[in-house]
Structure 1
Amino acid sequence: MPSSAPSRDLSPPNTTLTAVAGFRVGHWTDPVGQTGCTVVLCPDEGAVASASFLGPSPATREGVLLSPEKKVERVHAVLLAGGSAFGLSAATGVVRVLEERGVGHPTPWARVPLVPGAVVYDLGVGDPTARPGEREGEAAARSASDAPVPRGRVGAGTGTTAGKYLGGVGTVPGGLGSVMLERHGVQVGALAVVNPIGDVLDERGGVLAGPGTGPGAVSFTPGDVENTTLIAVVTEHTLTKAECRRLADAAQTALGRVIHPSHTAWDGDAAFMLSACTRPPADPLLLGALVQEAVCAAVRDAVRQANALDV
């Protein structure tokens, strides 16, 4: 009998956050209500984590826990959601799933899953009464896998928009994007939920999403719209909590390169940095550069996927 040739995997390589070993992503999406939530699950032992929150109105859960001076270092998942502050309740469903699996911070009487989160305001896009809750967070956590991350108008990016400084004229879907970058053996994965008031810029500084005129043509007053971009960045390379905080700050700085204007009085941007600590520390200069490049690429990927734009 002729020998059969070995089968080959012809599927495209995973170039999203889940290509970083140990991290999984799941979505719950409501395409009618135009909202959703996204969960990043860490390795079962947790990930060393910190975060940076900018803007006057961030809506977060367990954000203070992530400050470098606080005692607990590892978290077990991160929730990103629509629904404004209502969406934070989806984290309870994630906690339920992790508790069932025996995942959590060890205490004398129970393992307590730690799930920080942040939300975007998408109530004006679809049905304002459609919001992620406990069941939706649970569904997202149960669906989490290490498969390539579905991107575009999914999960927390379902109802997001960009370029809102003209009061709705020129506004386009923002979406959810994800990339993994690797250089000299160092890997960084990023996921972005894009909901800024400003334009999103392409690699050459041109306008990828938004009116492109810049503010001023139409008077913008507080309360017209609400805006926030959410970022989650992961790596296997060992980091301290303080180092995670510095890289979360670097991720925020990257938003200033890809969104114009960024970090305005109407943006409440949040950036989470997670380290699995399963590989030796990396060159800090290289790691910081990759974090910023990954954030910019994930933001652009979100817009391109949400609007079916060519790269």
Structure 2
Amino acid sequence: MSTRWQPIPIHTIEGFRIGHSTNLDAATGCTVIVAPEGATGGVDVRGGAPASRETDLLRPENTVEVVNAVCLSGGSAFGLEAASGVARELEARGIGLDVGVARVPIVCSSCIFDLAFGSATVRPGVAEGIEATRAALDTEPAPVAEGTVGAGTGATVGKLNGPTTLMKGGLGARARAAGELKIGAISVVNACGNVVDPTTGAAIAGMRAAADSLEIVSMEDAMLAAVEHLAMPLDRTNTTISCIITNARLTKAQATKLAQMAADAYAHTIRPTHTTNDGDTIYVLASGALGDRAFPLDMLGVAATRVLEEAICAGCLSADGIHGAPAFKNLHN
């Protein structure tokens, strides 16, 4: 990335607070990105099997202009309940859309499928959503934990040949600044495919050659070789879900376009990506803390793509192996 764009901690982007709820025993959790003063939102959904809430509100033609939080969660569709906990906690703090008789927090949410990795019966719910929201709002801003934490606790990658040869994915959080302009990404990497370094093509995590091997093999090549006999052992159980945050001011249409552009990061780092078994989703939240200063949308799109690439890689590089699934760290220790 250009030397004008310097790395910064993602928690220093104005207008946002971030918190986790983690259950290592059950290998699941949730992560909340809160915009206490509200943020303009957009979304791009490209996977074939998304589990999501309130994404239609972000369509540019719809009337709700401000988002209060994005909840990324494990637990598949059950995990959408965590967003209700986020909404309850925000309502208790007077945060939400004023509808006269109440304040209704606008909470968007997407989930990964982690039920087959840890516990199939323990999922993030209302209590975990509340816990993550309190962690975001009741503690001093601090560097965001990465790897096997929050919504990334049960994330795995490289699943063509089933659970015996997959590797650990995780949650990554990266940000950059060019002067006062800041942009960051949080990504929960639970992809069907392998994760690679986009600058070198080297594998970071993915499908291993055998259950007792730490050699990562090309999943794309394996899929092409299968031809007529390709079958996913766990259909619709993969998803990379991400949230781009920025202190720039954007319209809903611009935030939507930014999310679409940032989806290139998935293609650059995940192979294969956007399969029928993935629910890939990207949110964008723009706090507008920089006021009315305008920045070229295409430039912001490139910056968002680059920082999301970094977050995706960081999610796997930072992950710890749990429940028998090795991580990148195991390959290099």
Of 206, 210, 213, the match for 2:218: 213
Specify which of 281, 292, 297 is matched with residue 284 of structure 1: 297
Moved more, 62-71 or 277-286: 277-286
CA offsets per residue over residues 94-140 of structure 1, 9 Å max, x none? 11111111110111111110001000000000110010000111001
Question: Which amino acid is 1:286 matched to?
Answer: M
Tell me whether 1:267 sits opposite 2:262 in the alignment.
Answer: no
1:46-93 CA deviation, whole Å, 9 max, x = no partner? 000010111221110111111111101111000000000000001111
Give me the whole-angstrom Cα distance separating, in 2, the residues matched to 1:147 and 1:308: 25
Kept after mapping to 1: 8 A contact 2:254/2:297: no
* Matched residue, 1:165: 160
Alignment length (residue pairs)? 297
Equivalence for 1:231: 242
What is the CA–CA distance in structure 1 between the aligned matches of 2:162 and 2:328, rounded to whole Å?
24
SS in 2 for 1:262: coil
Once the two structures are TM-superposed, the CA of residue 284 in structure 1 deviates from its matched residue by: 2.1
Q: 1:217-254: CA deviations, max 9, x gaps?
A: 56542562410000100001010000000011112121
- CA distance, structure 1, for counterparts of residue 8 and residue 238 of structure 2: 28
Q: For residue 100 of structure 1, what is the amino acid of its counterpart?
A: A
Q: Percent identity of the aligned residues? A: 39
* Displacement of 1:285: 2.7
Q: CA deviation at 1:181?
A: 1.2
Letter aligned with residue 105 of structure 1: L
CA contact (8 A) 1:18 1:189 kept: no
Corresponding residue number in structure 2 for 1:178: 173
Distance 1:31 1:297 in 2: 24
Query: 2:317 maps to which residue?
Result: 304
Partner of residue 198 from structure 1, selected from 188, 193, 199:
193
Deviation at 1:21?
1.3
For residues 260 and 16 of structure 1, what CA distance do their matches in structure 2 show? Answer: 28
| TM-score normalised by the chain length of structure 1 | 0.91
Superposed CA RMSD: 1.7
Aligned equivalents of 1:247 and 1:14: distance in 2?
20
Superposition pairs of residues 1-311 of structure 1, within 5 angstroms: 15-42=8-35, 44-144=36-136, 145=139, 146-202=141-197, 203-211=199-207, 212-214=217-219, 215-216=222-223, 219-222=229-232, 224-225=234-235, 226-279=237-290, 280-306=293-319, 307=327, 309=329
The 2-side partners of 1:299 and 1:90 are apart by 23
Whether contact under 8 Å (1:49, 1:275) holds in the other structure is: yes
- Are the equivalent residues in 2 in contact too, given 1:167–1:220 (CA < 8 A)? no
Give a deviation string over 1:148-206, Cα, whole Å, max 9, x none. Answer: 11111000000010111222353111100000112354311100000001110113111
Distance 1:231-1:103 versus aligned 2 partners, 3 A rule: same
TM-score by length of 2: 0.85
SS of 2:8's equivalent in the other structure is: coil
Q: Would you say the 8 A contact 2:259–2:283 is kept in 1?
A: yes
Name stretches of at least 5 consecutive residues in structure 1 with no aligned partner.
1-12
CA distance in 2, matches of 1:189, 1:272: 12
Return 5+ residue gaps in structure 2 as ranges: 1-5, 208-216, 320-326
Would the aligned equivalents of 1:27 and 1:37 in 2 still touch at CA under 8 Å? yes
